[in-house]
Structure 1
Amino acid sequence: MKSTTWALAAVAVVLAGAPSPAGARVTRLQIDKVDPEAFGGQAFGAAGPYEVVSGRVFGELNPNDPHNAVIQDLRLAPRNARGRVEYSSTFALSRPRDMSKASGVLVYQVANRGGGAVQGSRDGHLQVISGWQGDMVPGAGRQTLSVPRATAEGPVLVRFVDIAAGARTAPIEVGSVRMVPAPTPVSLDTSTARLTWALADDAPPTVVPASDWAFADCAATPFPGRPDPTKLCLKAGFDPKRAYTLTYRAKDPLVLGIGYAAIRDLVAFLKYADADQAGAPNPAKGGARFAIGTGVSQSANVLRSLVHLDQNISEDGRVVFDGVLPSSSLRQNALDFRFAVPGGGAALYDYGTEGIMWWSPYQDRLRGLPRASVLDRCTASRSCPKVIEMFGGSELWDLRGSPALVGTDAKRDIPLPPNVRRYFNPGVTHTGGRGGFSLAGVKLGSCLLAANPNPASDTLRALTADLIDWVAKGIEPPPSAYPTLAAGQLADPKVVSAAFPQIPGVPAPLGALNPLPTYDYGPTFHAADLTGVMALQPPGIGGHVPLLVATVDADGNETAGVRSVLNQAPLGSYVGWNYATTGYAAGLGCGSNGGFIPFAATRAERLAKGDPRPSLEERYGSRDAYLGKVRAAAEALVARRLLLPEDAARIVAEAAQTDAFHALAPARQP
């Protein structure tokens, strides 16, 4: 297998072919800067030094084109003289300075909340990143998309959690990790809106009287403060033990669904076009026979929804991505409904798991959805990509991913179609850990357990190379490897929690499970596709979807799927869950963070602590024996094409530097 150097971020890959006339609806590609000394002039193997081209892409969409019909509110957006809706996005592209050394591979990186950067590649790949999230605020290094606003109104919900005690003003923002301004209220009259608070997600809400809060800034002016549609002022001040929910009627929604078309059209342009409509050359000119898209977390959600909504085919009917690799995700992106929140997480009322999550047809009777799959539309349009899907433990414990595997009745495995492969990273936190071979856990904010170092990026790089081989060379990827009901590797969280070892100071994992409510947003919201208009905010909650998690061994480690070297030669328990110790969620899951519970170094230490798990001394005996196990695990993964040789060498070298065995008797040291 050809070795590949990849960024840890989400990527999309395009293999070059012969150029063809422009057909994608990119009207102009503006180059603002060319940096011929990118990456400090570093030479990337035989590909040599790289340069980075950056600028802006301008495009337009025909609201009457069937390919764009799914974009919510596109018909309500302003149009130019040609009757088209315009948008523009930032982009950056890296390419070998000597294009004769280019591999013919273009790497499109799906930005995560505007973040990400292109890199060089020893294999001569080109890489590009661009904006797709239309509500992202511009900032240094961010990739952004400018989209129009539609003339429309509708209900909006905003939650306020963990606001500092005594604070009287809070910004009205939505999303997670990188917050963005919430939609503009139609009126600042609080009698037309509603503010409530609750002590827990499942506790009954208490209404805050309209006279006790305001759309205002009270930071420098006493209540009712200075009127401000972007801020909420609470007369009595906020209580960090409470979660506040604001619902109001908003206006002028951004047409965020254009984000899918912006990705579609840019990749199609780079894949097929010689030049833009003004004659400016395609900076990736050389053609593109294949396109492969990958994304991590939010970026993976985007790719899954892009395929589901039939945006993998350009306006002129040509396939965009021949393969996709969504990782650290099993759900869709909340982008294509009125007042959508594409940057949200998995908290109460966050979106992404309401609709179709499965690759093969399944009828969601629990939520009243028709028999359908993510691939239905692309099957009809003959534009389905090959798919490699990767996910880890946190996607089951926090991100509510098991319905993608077993449906909402959790009774049987949903089979995968021939064009889909699936791989599970056991015992991995969301997006994976940093790796390393240390017993010293790293403190993780207010989480109870230390940060989980178990990596996923090594597997992702190998699977990306496997997907390229599958699409470009017809070489089948390794067999799918993930937990199933049939194999007894998926179980009720109560069963798994009861089987988890009783470790002093570590609670059983059941309380960290993030439940999945069934929501009712009204008849104008199309839950199956995450499109339409939400008529009910907050939504009605009718119950919960049963969730399953991966089973564990006597150490508390998950073992199904693609076991990393660290999972096969563990220094502790690597779990996909954690507990919050402070704030509104204290005693519940600590977001999508996993945890690490190190083993005792010696038998004496283990017995003194009352830890039932064998110590390093008992399970390995010596540092040399441990390194032998690490080496064997790495070699086996390389042989299975689930680890690149260069990553295997790095991991073995890192293990050789471990200090985990210093406490063992000197006689047992090499």
Structure 2
Amino acid sequence: MAVIGFQMLTHRPYEGGKSFGEAGPYERIDGVLHMAVDPAHAMNAGITDLDLAPRDAAGGVHFAADIRLLRPLKPPPNGKLYTSVVNRGRAGIVPFSFPPKGFRPVYDDSLVPGDGFLLERGYTVAFTAWQWDVVRRPGALGLQAPLAYEPDGRPAATTVRVRFQPLTDRPSEHLAHWPAHPSFDPAQYHQPYPAADLQQPDAVLTVKDTPNGAATALPRESWRFSRSVDGTETANAEWISLDGGFEAGRIYEVAYRTERCPVAGLGLLAIRDAASFLRYGTAAEGNPCAGTIANAFTHGVSQTGRFLREFLLTGCNVDEESRQVFDGIFIQIAGARRGDFNIRGAQPSAQYGAGPAFAPPFTYAPTSTCQDTLLDRQRERGGVPKVFEVNTANEYWRSDGLAVHTDPATEKDLELPGNVRVYLMAGCQHGPG
């Protein structure tokens, strides 16, 4: 199974046919990869709720991922595939290139080459979607994931917690967790978990003034699943409204039941199978890179660096044909965290509080407090890649960077395996890092 079809949406010269050094001109392909996986396959074990997703007649679970591809036209390319795990659906610039002055990643159709570092060296560059809740629209790369259903046909359900801290006073809040900037319309960026029942007497809304402060539960009759626009309030399963409104700077958290549970962990398999297809797929299978890829690498920054730590923990670097997907994985400014990437009720963009992001294992070697490592399952399956981790001072000041390479009991550096390198960019901030 894996990739069963490549739907090409657009195909055009990149940057008007501009030549990038000896590599020459590139073409840009935008499309959708349609995939199917066997939930009973050993290489798919560990994907939460995969066994509860609808199946086709052959037993396959279907999903689809947006992809943006840059391919050198001048043969031969350098034989290397670089996969960018896109951060919250954005693919605004070719990585490892110096951006133009004033550049800021946005959700649009542009793809800035920067100084062309990778392109001048002949890399094939793929921007691959993995995140179920990114609103799929021009300029935003998202994953179409199936919903989970119980064996009796009922929708799978869970309790989700959504936290938000308004920057301005507001009458209503969207039940999405990103972005918080008041100039953004959150409904245009992330899909929320709708409330299963607008009444939900056991739903809870709390408020506090500091992250570690005590939270106070607000009376249930003081808030509703609704949206207020220009003074008119209407029932809405994707919004909540509070009597007197939400106050800027205060931290609110709402816990409620939803019956919309996408199989979020398929994002891990989307990254795996997209790269496997481009590396091993044939021209007859629709692979535009057939026969040109000898090595593959992937890179994630911040959120997507944490995603790649989850990718390794789940053992996803071997496909259903037992082939190694990536030779190297570059994890940048992720610290020791992972995230809401492979659980029911996953909120992949969430950055707050305790949860899967802060669960061990944190590193690549056993410690005094945790014998498990990030590479255990990958070692069992084979295909262990070289891993290159880079963090900045920010990841240490927020407290988790140290856990990547030290024992929490002895406070001494661990002896990391030979395939892992960990570096610190001292004094650097999270963003510039």
Give the TM-score, by structure 2 length: 0.87
The aligned residue for residue 68 of structure 1 is 44
The aligned residue for residue 153 of structure 1 is 157
The aligned residue for residue 26 of structure 2 is 50
Q: 1:339 to 1:408 in 2, by over 3 A?
A: farther
Unmatched 5+ residue regions in structure 1?
A: 1-23, 365-369, 433-455, 457-670
Shift of 1:314: 0.3
Q: Which sits farther off after the overlay, 195-204 or 404-413?
A: 404-413
Shift of 1:381: 1.7
Residue 39 (structure 1) aligned with residue 15 (structure 2): yes
Shift of 1:218: 2.3
Residue 95 (structure 1) aligned with residue 71 (structure 2): yes
Shift of 1:101: 3.8
- 1:254-297 per-position Cα deviation (integer Å, ceiling 9, x unaligned): 1110001011111111111214xxx3431111243322222111
Contact 1:297 1:329 in 2 (8 A): yes
SS for the counterpart of 2:137 is coil
| Partner amino acid, structure 1, of 2:227 | D
The aligned residue for residue 209 of structure 1 is 219
The aligned residue for residue 276 of structure 2 is 268
Contact 2:71 2:124 in 1 (8 A): yes
Unmatched 5+ residue regions in structure 2?
A: 95-112, 150-155, 181-185
Q: 1:240 to 1:153 in 2, by over 3 A?
A: same
- 1:467-512 per-position Cα deviation (integer Å, ceiling 9, x unaligned): xxxxxxxxxxxxxxxxxxxxxxxxxxxxxxxxxxxxxxxxxxxxxx
SS for the counterpart of 1:168 is strand
Shift of 1:418: 0.9
The aligned residue for residue 380 of structure 1 is 380
Name the Cα RMSD after superposition.
Answer: 1.9
SS for the counterpart of 1:235 is strand
Measure the CA separation in 2 of the matches of 1:293 and 1:190: 43
Shift of 1:420: 0.8
Question: After TM superposition, what 4+ stretches of structure 1 lie above 3 angstroms from structure 2?
Answer: 117-120, 175-179, 407-410
SS for the counterpart of 1:237 is strand
Shift of 1:103: 1.2
- 1:368-401 per-position Cα deviation (integer Å, ceiling 9, x unaligned): xx41111111112221101111111111123632
The aligned residue for residue 255 of structure 1 is 263
Shift of 1:410: 6.0
Contact 1:46 1:101 in 2 (8 A): no
Contact 2:367 2:408 in 1 (8 A): no
| Partner amino acid, structure 2, of 1:172 | L
Alignment partner of 2:142 out of 131, 138, 144: 144
Residue 394 (structure 1) aligned with residue 369 (structure 2): no
More helix by share: 1
Alignment partner of 2:56 out of 56, 80, 83: 80
The aligned residue for residue 339 of structure 2 is 333
The aligned residue for residue 89 of structure 2 is 114
Measure the CA separation in 1 of the matches of 2:286 and 2:377: 33
Contact 1:158 1:182 in 2 (8 A): no
| Count of aligned pairs between the two proteins | 396
Contact 2:204 2:217 in 1 (8 A): yes
Give percent identity, aligned residues only: 30
The aligned residue for residue 4 of structure 2 is 27
The aligned residue for residue 98 of structure 2 is none
Q: Which sits farther off after the overlay, 282-291 or 47-56?
A: 282-291
The aligned residue for residue 229 of structure 1 is 237
Contact 2:395 2:430 in 1 (8 A): yes
Measure the CA separation in 2 of the matches of 1:430 and 1:139: 28
Shift of 1:252: 2.1
| Partner amino acid, structure 1, of 2:344 | R
Q: How does 1:9-20 map to 2 (within 5 A)?
A: none
Alignment partner of 1:320 out of 308, 314, 325: 325
Contact 1:171 1:230 in 2 (8 A): yes
More strand by share: 2
Shift of 1:85: 0.8
Shift of 1:221: 4.9
Residue 290 (structure 1) aligned with residue 292 (structure 2): no
Measure the CA separation in 1 of the matches of 2:6 and 2:87: 22
Shift of 1:363: 4.3
The aligned residue for residue 199 of structure 1 is 209
| Partner amino acid, structure 1, of 2:175 | I
Q: How does 1:447-526 map to 2 (within 5 A)?
A: 456=433
Q: 1:173 to 1:25 in 2, by over 3 A?
A: same
Contact 1:174 1:181 in 2 (8 A): no
Measure the CA separation in 2 of the matches of 1:227 and 1:83: 39
